[in-house]
Structure 1
Amino acid sequence: MDILPSEFSVRRLYEAMTAIITPRPIAWVSTIDHEGVCNLAPYSFFNGVGANPPTLMFCPANKPDGTAKDTLANIRANGQFVVNIVTDETFAEMKHSALEVASEEDEFVLTGTEKTASSVVAPPRVSNVAAAMECELLTAMQLGVGPGGANLVVGKIVSIHLRDNVLDADGRVDPEKIATIGRMGGPRYTKTLDRFE
């Protein structure tokens, strides 16, 4: 079977792409609006871009009504965000934070997720995450319009928080100590515990 994107719905294309681009890391992004209301939402179109400058990207799709999600609106307004890394311990809260709620609702409160002040940026980070990257916006590009329209957010990492128990004796991240979660197709996830060289 060959799929020509012009002949399929956005939903069908999304389903195909997310079933074959796996596993995808999850950016659990925290932002804050001009009223001080925090937003916390997961995005699995996410990855690192480079180390010089330290840069990452994620892609929030538009809401079903074609408008920008709160995450993107907040980043466009104040130019800052935090990417919290999802592990086994934070999976339930992350999944709960994916629900669509009113913009005036704080997803930290909704999900019972504790927040901690960030070191450099205004949005808080999730308190118990293994790692979090505080970012300043480099660019936010609109790639598509309408429902599910893609947007690309690129951020410069200005501070990295690492929990002590994921470090080795030399202070480096030990891949064996950070049990990240990956997104598969549909409502499925995977644990990154089966490793080899």
Structure 2
Amino acid sequence: MPTYDVDSLTPRDLARIVKSAVSPRPIAWVSTTSPDGVDNLAPFSTYNYVSSTEPVVHFSTPAVEDGERKDTPRNALETGEFAVNVVTADLLESMDQTAAPLPPDESEFDAAGLERAPCETIDPPRVADAVVTFECTLYDSMEIRSGFTIFGDVEYVHADESVLTDGKVDATKIDTVGRLGGPFYSVSDPLEFERQF
């Protein structure tokens, strides 16, 4: 079995190993509004939750790119608000379009032709066609080496009727898109397995 000393690898090669092995990675499709009122929408595939009963979610991005923070983390820091929309198979192409590097005064919602829906507790809009959205307020942020992580307190949850069973969110009804290494994605295909422990 090949082994690697991380110091012997280029940053690109090391990142490829990590991103391919840590998968599938859920995608945070984060909507924010700038202090100037421009709605921003961008996907981040370093995303998860760190607390579920008192929900806190987090997403990460490069600390800086070309000497500046990306629009999404900058907006989240400056306004203290953001929404995390769940990406499903029917939204994959639209999600990809929102990864385009637009200037801060242009909205990815408009560029991708996505309908906005209002949030209840925060100013940024949510993706109208997302089956689940978390409305978040800024909990904290942390810079770790070349990465920057935003933590959000989940204040409100939107869940479409189509993904509910007996009033509860049903994972088997959400065809969640995950990010794999390279140009690959996955769509959840539930495997029934009864935990023993």
Query: 1:15 aligns to what SS in structure 2?
Result: helix
2:156 — aligned with what? 159
2:94 — aligned with what? 93
Counterpart selection for 1:173 from 169, 174, 189: 169
Change (3 A) 1:193 1:52: closer
- 1:46-125 correspondence to structure 2 within 5 Å: 46-125=47-126
Change (3 A) 1:10 1:105: farther
Paired with 1:61 and 1:133, the residues of 2 have a C-alpha distance of 22
Segments of structure 1 that go 5 or more residues without pairing to the other structure are: none
Paired with 1:162 and 1:135, the residues of 2 have a C-alpha distance of 15
In the alignment, is the contact (CA less than 8 A) between 2:89 and 2:175 conserved in 1?
yes
AA aligned to 1:171 is G
Q: CA deviation at 1:65?
A: 1.1
Give per-residue Cα distances to partners, 1:126-176, cap 9 Å, x unaligned: 0011100000111111113xxxx20011111000000011101x2001122
Paired with 2:104 and 2:150, the residues of 1 have a C-alpha distance of 19
State the TM-score, normalized to the length of structure 2: 0.92
Change (3 A) 1:96 1:36: same
Query: 2:169 aligns to what SS in structure 1?
Result: coil
Q: Kindly indicate whether residue 141 of structure 2 is the aligned counterpart of residue 140 of structure 1.
A: yes
Q: CA deviation at 1:194?
A: 4.5
Paired with 2:101 and 2:26, the residues of 1 have a C-alpha distance of 21
Identity of aligned residues (%): 34
Paired with 2:53 and 2:21, the residues of 1 have a C-alpha distance of 29
AA aligned to 1:125 is R
Paired with 1:177 and 1:194, the residues of 2 have a C-alpha distance of 9
State the TM-score, normalized to the length of structure 1: 0.92
Query: 2:91 aligns to what SS in structure 1?
Result: helix
Paired with 2:156 and 2:121, the residues of 1 have a C-alpha distance of 7
Say which is worse superposed, 187-196 or 177-186, in terms of deviation. Answer: 187-196
Give per-residue Cα distances to partners, 1:73-100, cap 9 Å, x unaligned: 0011011100000001111110111111
Give per-residue Cα distances to partners, 1:87-129, cap 9 Å, x unaligned: 0111111011111111111000011111111111111100011
1:17 — aligned with what? 18
Say which is worse superposed, 97-106 or 61-70, in terms of deviation. Answer: 61-70
Say which is worse superposed, 44-53 or 101-110, in terms of deviation. Answer: 44-53
Segments of structure 2 that go 5 or more residues without pairing to the other structure are: none
Say which is worse superposed, 68-77 or 50-59, in terms of deviation. Answer: 50-59
In the alignment, is the contact (CA less than 8 A) between 2:63 and 2:143 conserved in 1?
no
Question: For the aligned residues, what is the CA RMSD?
Answer: 1.4
Q: CA deviation at 1:52?
A: 3.4
